Amino acid sequence: MVREPSDSFAAGAAYIGGSIVPIGQAAIPILDLGFLHSDATYDVVHVWNGRFFRLDDHLDRFERGMTKLRMSLPIDRERIRELLHDCVRASGLDNAYVELICTRGMAAPGSRDPRDCVNQFYAFAVPFAWVANAEQRERGLSLHVSSVQRIAQESVDPTVKNYHWLDLVQGLYDAFDHGAETALLSDAAGNVVEGPGFNVFAVIAGALVTPKVGVLQGITRRTALEIGAEFESDLGLRVEERALSYEELLGASEVFVTSTAGGIMPVTLVDGRAIGAGIPGPVTQKFTARYWKMHEDIRYSEAIR
């Protein structure tokens, strides 16, 4: 078990400027281009019952993101791993939401050249956060497919986690205006792609379908695909990564979303229309149980040091 947090670290802990500090004291320079230009990449891994889940997969994606954005850090992968453990240990949290960030840093005075910047690393651990609360996970989320389009992948690479969230935030407000709890955005061709912090899956005519392009390659998405392959013969469902139209989504027998912030979570209403029987279905329930069981497997998890 991870120790109980002290009062100063009860809300979380962060690595900032070479030190571990209480989350309330964590701050970055206002001139960091990660803040001014959203010029940053990040990743989020969670800790459940004192164990990181798929930490190496998250570190792999974080490193790929830095490479694509032409960023680099003076610390290596093992040091990053140690700092994430340090943040969780300092917080005393058994269940935590842990974020690691690389920003462009500050440019030289008067310069707009990103090559003049020294890239910066930050990390923090806070109590575990859920996309869906307990009631929503029990009955299923209400989702609205927004008219707001997702930023085109030709403009911003969706496989690199970034803070370009204005389209997702606008989509959320659109969903709230339509009486829904969360949003799903579409691409220019009208195919649904992803929501604010989650991927989507639909059970359609013997197939488990999830969008292939224009989306973040989520680690929980990857886990769901692996579970789908494992259960393929048992459930009689083939796994398909392809375009998913709005009409197909409405006609699905089950829909669920996947995120590090909550795992596999059911959707039972799309634009006011019930999905299937209007309750979380058997495929979603089986996937959810398998997902949380994997957290006990040492092939996927590691204990806080």
pLDDT along the chain (305 residues), means of 10: 64 96 96 96 98 98 98 97 98 97 94 94 97 97 97 95 96 98 97 98 97 97 97 93 98 98 98 97 97 96 95
Indicate whether 195 and 162 sit together in one domain: yes
Q: Are 22 and 87 in contact (CB under 8 A)?
A: no
All residues at 6 or more sequence positions from 62 whose CB lies less than 8 Å from its CB, including other chains? 41, 42, 43, 80, 100, 102, 161
Residue 196: which residues within 8 A CB-CB, separation 6 or more? Answer: 165, 168, 169, 171, 172, 182, 183
Round to whole Å and give the CA distance between 47 and 96: 5
Structural domain count, the chain: 2
Which of 80, 99, 127 is the last residue in one of the domains?
Answer: 127
Radius of gyration of the chain (CA): 20
Count CB-CB contacts under 10 A for residue 304: 23
25 and 94 fall within a common domain: yes
Residue 72 lies inside a defined structural domain of this protein:
yes
pTM of the predicted model, to two decimals? 0.95
Does the residue 32 lie in any domain?
A: yes
pLDDT for 1 equals: 41
Q: Are 287 and 174 within one domain?
A: yes
Cβ count near 298 (within 10 Å): 8
Which pLDDT score is estimated for 7?
A: 76
What range does the domain containing 225 cover? 134-296
Q: Do 105 and 142 share a structural domain?
A: no
| Residue 304 resides in a domain | no
Query: Are residues 176 and 272 located together in one domain of the fold?
Result: yes
pLDDT of residue 165: 95
The per-residue pLDDT for 140 is 98
122 and 193 together in one domain: no
42 and 91 both lie in a single domain: yes
Beta strands, E only, 3-77: 13-16, 19-22, 40-48, 51-53
| Residues 248, 279 contacting (CB under 8 angstroms) | no
42 vs 103: CA distance, rounded Å = 8
* Shared domain check, 155 and 83: no
3-state SS string for 214-266 = CCCCCHHHHHHHHHHHHHHHHHCCEEEECCEEHHHHHCCCEEEEEECCCEEEE
How far apart CA 161 and CA 215 sit, in angstroms, is 10
Domain annotation covers residue 2: no
Does residue 35 sit in the same domain as residue 56?
A: yes
Say if strands 207-210 and 141-149 run parallel, antiparallel, or are unpaired. Answer: unpaired
Is 261 among the domain residues? yes
